[in-house]
C-alpha cells in the first residue's frame, strides 16, 4: 500500500476521529504573539494554565533561555499539568516527515518535566488546512503546522517570500540547511509577516518554514519546451502558475494530498513538488521522472508556519517559554524531515524506473526568467524592498558561512542521496540555536 493511501486510511478524509474525547473538550489551548494581547475568543480557553503559580494571561515566573533543568523545575513547581492538541503536517508517526513534530514533542515534554503533554493528531484528522485557523481559535487544535501558502490573500507575506527562495545553493544537504535558516530569519525579522498571524489570533512559533527545494515530477520523460507544451501541471503556489503558463503548460491547483491519485489517473501529467511531499506520499511511484535546476534553486520553498492557537497567552509564562524554546528542536526536525523524505524520494523514483535529471537548459532559462520577473513585480507593487535580491544574497553568504563553520557537508549528489545520507544522521540543533539567538530570541515570551 502506498504512503498516500496509508494517509487516507488513517484519516478517512476526516471520517476517523484520531483523537481522544478529552482532545475535543474544553482544555488548555494556545495563541498570539509575544508581547501582544488578544481578547479570549473561545469559551473553553479559561481552563488554560488555570493551576497555581500565577497561571493565566502569561502570568507566573519565567526563566532565562538556556536555564538549567533545575531552574525550570523550580519555575513550574506549582503549575498544574496541561495537555495540548498538536496537529503536525505529517500523515502518521511513521512518515518520513514526522521528525519535526516528534523532536518538538520530545523537547517540550522533557523540558517541562512531564507537565506539558502534547497529544499528536496526525493527518489533519481534526481540521483540514481550510478549517485550521477556526480550529486553532475555537480550541479544537492548540498547535499546528499551517500550510499558509494555500491562502495567498490571507498571508501575502508568505506568498511574496515564497518567490524569493532561489537565492542559495541547490546542494542536497547544505542547501536545505542554508535555505531553512535564511527564510526563518527573514520571517522573524519582518513585522508585517508576524502581524499577519497576530491579527488572526495565532502565535507564530516558527513563522516561515521550508519544505525543501522544488522539483518537477512527471509521469513521462522529457523536460524540453516541446515536452512541457500542453501538459496539465499541478501547482502549489502562485509562483508556479506563472511558471507553468510560461512553459505553455496548464496549471492545476490542488492540495498535495490529492496529487497522487490525480497523477495515477492521468488527471494531471506533472507536479511541482518538494522533498517532504515527494518522499512522504509516494508521488514518485507514479511520477518518477524528476527534473531539477542544474545550478540554482527553484522558487517557492517557503510555504508554511508552525503556530499556536487562541489561548497561548493564557498559559503560564514558563509554559509559553518552553513551547517557544522547543523551536530549536523543531528546526532540527524540519531539516531532518526534508532530508529523510528526500532520501525516500530518490529511492521511490529509482524503484519506479525513473530518474533525477537536470532540467533542459532552454526550459530552465524560461523558468528562471519568470522567477526573476515575479521578484520585479513584487518590488514594483511595493510588496518587497528594491534591494531584496541583495538582502537575500547577503543572507545566503552569511548562513553559508555558518553552515561551513558548524561542519555540515555534502558527501555526494542528489542522484545518489540514498547512498550517502543516513536518516536522522545529522544534528541540526547547533544551526537551530544560531537562528534562535540571532532572530527568534527577541520575540521570546517574557
CATH code of residue 47: 3.40.190
Which pLDDT score is estimated for 255? Answer: 82
Share of the chain above pLDDT 90, in %: 83
For residue 229, give the DSSP letter. Answer: T
- Kindly state whether residue 425 falls inside one of the protein's structural domains: no
Contact indicator for 367, 243 with CB cutoff of 8 Å? yes
- Kindly state whether residue 22 falls inside one of the protein's structural domains: yes
Which pLDDT score is estimated for 237? Answer: 86
pLDDT at 12 over 70: no
Backbone phi and psi for residue 305, each to the nearest 5 degrees, phi listed first: -145, 160
Which pLDDT score is estimated for 116? Answer: 98
Residue 8 CB partners (closer than 8 Å, separation 6+): 257
Which pLDDT score is estimated for 31? Answer: 30
Domain count, the chain: 1
- Kindly state whether residue 69 falls inside one of the protein's structural domains: yes
Residue 17 CB partners (closer than 8 Å, separation 6+): 24, 125, 126
* pLDDT band with cut points at 50, 70 and 90 for residue 1: very low
CA distance 302 to 213: 9
Domain that holds residue 101: 3-164+189-208+304-329
Which pLDDT score is estimated for 256? Answer: 80
- Kindly state whether residue 403 falls inside one of the protein's structural domains: no
| Mean pLDDT, rounded, of the chain | 88
- Kindly state whether residue 180 falls inside one of the protein's structural domains: no
Contact indicator for 184, 208 with CB cutoff of 8 Å? yes
CA distance 174 to 180: 10
Report the range of poorest mean pLDDT among 28-32, 223-227, 236-240, 357-361. 28-32
Share of the chain above pLDDT 70, in %: 87
Contact indicator for 375, 388 with CB cutoff of 8 Å? yes
- Kindly state whether residue 397 falls inside one of the protein's structural domains: no
* pLDDT band with cut points at 50, 70 and 90 for residue 211: confident
- Kindly state whether residue 286 falls inside one of the protein's structural domains: no
* Overall average pLDDT of the 159-183 stretch: 97
pLDDT tens per residue, range 249-299: 999 998 888 999 999 999 999 999 999 999 999 999 999 999 999 989 999
- Kindly state whether residue 241 falls inside one of the protein's structural domains: no
Which pLDDT score is estimated for 176? Answer: 97
pLDDT at 99 over 70: yes
pTM of the model: 0.86
Grid cell for residue 12: 478517512
Q: Assign 237 to helix, strand or coil.
A: coil
CA distance 429 to 406: 10
* pLDDT band with cut points at 50, 70 and 90 for residue 58: low
Which pLDDT score is estimated for 278? Answer: 94
* Overall average pLDDT of the 348-364 stretch: 97
Amino acid at each position: 500500500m502506498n504512503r498516500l493511501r496509508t494517509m487516507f486510511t488513517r484519516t478517512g478524509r476526516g471520517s476517523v476521529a484520531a483523537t481522544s474525547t478529552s482532545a475535543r473538550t474544553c482544555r488548555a489551548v494556545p495563541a498570539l504573539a509575544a508581547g501582544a494581547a488578544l481578547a479570549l475568543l473561545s469559551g473553553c480557553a479559561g481552563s488554560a494554565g488555570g493551576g497555581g503559580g500565577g497561571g493565566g494571561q502569561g502570568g507566573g515566573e519565567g526563566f532565562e533561555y538556556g536555564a538549567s533543568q533545575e531552574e525550570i523545575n523550580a519555575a513550574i513547581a506549582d503549575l498544574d499539568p496541561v495537555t495540548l492538541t498538536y496537529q503536525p503536517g505529517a500523515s502518521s508517526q511513521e512518515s518520513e516527515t514526522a521528525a519535526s513534530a516528534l523532536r518538538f514533542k520530545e523537547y517540550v515534554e522533557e523540558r517541562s518535566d512531564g507537565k506539558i503533554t502534547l497529544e499528536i493528531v496526525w493527518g489533519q484528522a481534526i481540521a483540514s488546512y481550510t478549517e485550521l485557523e477556526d480550529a486553532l481559535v475555537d480550541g479544537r487544535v492548540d498547535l499546528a503546522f499551517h500550510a499558509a501558502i494555500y491562502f495567498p490573500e490571507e498571508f501575502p507575506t508568505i506568498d511574496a517570500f515564497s518567490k524569493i527562495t532561489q537565492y542559495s545553493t541547490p546542494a542536497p544537504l547544505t542547501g536545505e540547511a542554508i535555505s531553512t535558516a535564511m527564510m526563518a530569519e527573514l520571517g522573524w525579522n519582518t513585522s508585517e509577516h508576524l502581524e499577519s498571524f497576530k491579527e488572526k489570533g495565532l502565535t507564530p512559533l516558527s513563522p516561515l518554514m521550508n519544505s525543501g527545494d522544488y522539483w518537477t515530477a512527471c509521469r513521462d520523460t522529457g523536460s524540453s519546451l516541446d515536452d512541457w507544451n500542453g501538459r496539465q501541471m499541478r501547482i502549489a503556489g502562485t509562483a508556479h502558475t506563472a511558471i507553468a503558463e510560461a512553459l505553455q503548460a496548464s496549471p492545476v491547483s490542488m492540495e498535495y494530498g490529492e496529487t497522487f491519485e490525480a497523477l495515477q489517473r492521468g488527471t494531471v501529467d506533472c507536479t511541482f513538488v518538494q522533498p517532504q511531499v515527494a518522499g512522504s506520499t509516494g508521488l514518485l511511484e507514479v511520477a518518477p521522472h524528476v527534473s531539477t535546476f542544474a545550478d540554482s534553486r527553484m522558487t517557492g520553498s517557503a510555504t508554511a508556519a508552525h503556530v499556536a492557537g487562541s489561548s497561548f497567552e493564557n498559559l503560564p509564562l514558563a509554559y509559553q517559554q518552553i513551547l517557544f524554546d522547543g523551536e530549536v528542536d523543531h528546526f532540527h526536525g524540519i531539516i531532518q524531515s526534508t532530508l529523510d523524505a528526500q532520501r525516500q524520494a530518490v529511492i521511490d523514483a529509482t524503484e519506479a524506473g525513473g530518474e533525477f535529471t537536470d532540467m533542459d537548459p532552454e526550459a530552465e532559462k524560461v523558468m528562471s526568467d519568470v522567477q526573476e520577473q515575479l521578484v520585479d513585480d513584487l518590488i514594483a507593487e511595493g510588496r518587497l524592498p528594491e534591494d531584496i535580491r541583495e538582502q537575500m544574497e547577503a543572507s545566503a553568504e552569511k548562513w553559508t558561512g555558518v553552515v561551513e563553520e558548524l561542519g555540515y557537508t555534502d558527501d555526494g549528489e542528489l542522484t545518489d542521496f540514498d547512498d550517502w545520507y543516513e536518516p536522522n544522521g545529522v544534528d541540526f540543533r547547533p544551526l537551530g540555536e544560531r537562528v534562535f539567538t540571532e532572530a527568534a530570541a527577541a520575540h521570546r515570551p517574557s
